[in-house]
Amino acid sequence: MTSPTTYKAVVATAPGQLELVERPIPIPGIGQVRIRVEACGVCHSDSATVEGFAGVPYPRVPGHEVIGRIDALGDGVQGWSVGQRVGVGFLAGEDGTCPSCRQGDPVTCQNPVITGMTTDGGYAEIMVAEARGLVNVPEDLDAAEAAPLLCAGLTTFNALRHSGAQAGDVVAIHGLGGLGHLGVQFARKMGFHTVVIARGANKADMALSLGAHRYIDATTENVAEVLRSLGGAKVVLGTAPSAQGMTDTIPGLSPRGQLVVVAVPGEPLAINATDLIFGARSVSGALTGTVIDNEQTLAFANLQAIRPLVETFPLEQAAEAYARMMRADVKLRAVLVMGTPTP
């Protein structure tokens, strides 16, 4: 039986345009591996590629929440084998020479390999990745559930565990979407007094079922007052892209509490300096993590039975999955699953 010589990929060809194409199967270069993709999450950050932000060149295959198996090794690859289950996240390699890398901070590398932006990503049956950017994926994790953990999971897990909050502290998750629904699960399993802040009474049941001790409906309650009644939030994790919603939480922080921003609002945060100075409060940003951080995210999620809520689509429906994700019309993460027949 003749082996196939081409594979299917969904390519961004112009702003807002996704096209299903066939490409010749590539040979991995030095230090690279070829991956047969099992699943790839559809993340809001993919819009940078699809909409042509940040100078991303066309054509480009989006997707940076990739689960698959190695099916070929390039020259010089050590420590990985054909058939091994791996993942590829947003940051898939660093230059090793910029000031950040030389100071031991590859997450802020100034010339990183970014999956789906500087190199083709996982909206495809096949992709090539740098071996140094691979994540070891446990065999017992479902591919569609594991994929969003490589970005949304890593982002919330790392932000919380590096926030300085300790077990028993009040930690609030602002937003209950694709990031927030994972943040609340991580917060509860880390031992925090977990609060969810969102808009509408209809989200209360989900928040409590995911592990929240308290739900705050921002449409009917004063968020800061409720947080202060609980002793103040040591950390608020800002996962909803609402600048006003985030800033409304700052007066509810405990002394030396911090707002950690992981979502990007369309408008600037307007912060009252008095709220920061009187109470020594702070606002910081958190960005993804290393491959080891990603492996630790998967391990913790597996240990604590933390899973994203996903809606799956075949590769052929990538454009629909992307459009629905951008409209916030999926519950709660969209994932492309390769080899799934179109309904």
Distance CA 35, CA 84 (A): 9
197: left (phi over 0), alpha (psi -120 to 50) or beta: beta
Mean pLDDT over 98-124 rounds to 95
Single-letter residue type at 322: Y
The confidence score (pLDDT) of residue 341 equals: 40
Mean pLDDT over 75-102 rounds to 96
pLDDT tier for residue 1 given thresholds of 50, 70 and 90: low
User: How many Cβ atoms sit within 10 Å of the Cβ of residue 167?
Assistant: 8
Distance CA 197, CA 17 (A): 35
Mean pLDDT over 210-214 rounds to 98
Quote helix, strand, coil % in the chain, to nearest 5.
Answer: 30, 30, 40
The confidence score (pLDDT) of residue 53 equals: 84
CATH placement of domain 6-150+289-337: 3.90.180.10
Nearby residues of 155 by Cβ (< 8 Å), 6 or more positions away:
179, 262, 286, 287, 288, 289
Range(s) for CATH 3.90.180.10 in the chain? 6-150+289-337
Distance CA 69, CA 121 (A): 14
Question: Tens digit of pLDDT for each residue in 156-187?
Answer: 999 999 999 999 999 999 999 999 999 999 99
In a 3-state reduction of DSSP, which class is residue 293?
helix
Check whether 342 has a pLDDT greater than 60. Answer: no
Range(s) for CATH 3.40.50.720 in the chain? 154-285
Check whether 340 has a pLDDT greater than 60. Answer: no
Question: Tens digit of pLDDT for each residue in 257-311?
Answer: 999 999 999 899 999 999 999 999 999 999 899 999 999 999 999 999 999 999 9
Check whether 327 has a pLDDT greater than 80. Answer: yes
The confidence score (pLDDT) of residue 310 equals: 97
Distance CA 37, CA 330 (A): 22
The confidence score (pLDDT) of residue 343 equals: 34
How many degrees, rounded to 5, is the angle at CA 190 between CA 184 and CA 192?
Answer: 70
**DSSP result, 23-80:** EEPPPP-TTEEEEEEEEEEE-GGGHHHHTTGGGPPSSB-----EEEEEEEE-TT--S-
Question: Tens digit of pLDDT for each residue in 126-142?
Answer: 999 999 999 999 999 99
Percent of the chain topping pLDDT 70: 98
The confidence score (pLDDT) of residue 3 equals: 77
Distance CA 76, CA 55 (A): 31
Question: Tens digit of pLDDT for each residue in 45-78?
Answer: 999 999 988 788 999 999 999 999 999 999 999 9
Question: Tens digit of pLDDT for each residue in 182-209?
Answer: 999 999 999 999 999 999 999 999 999 9
CATH placement of domain 154-285: 3.40.50.720
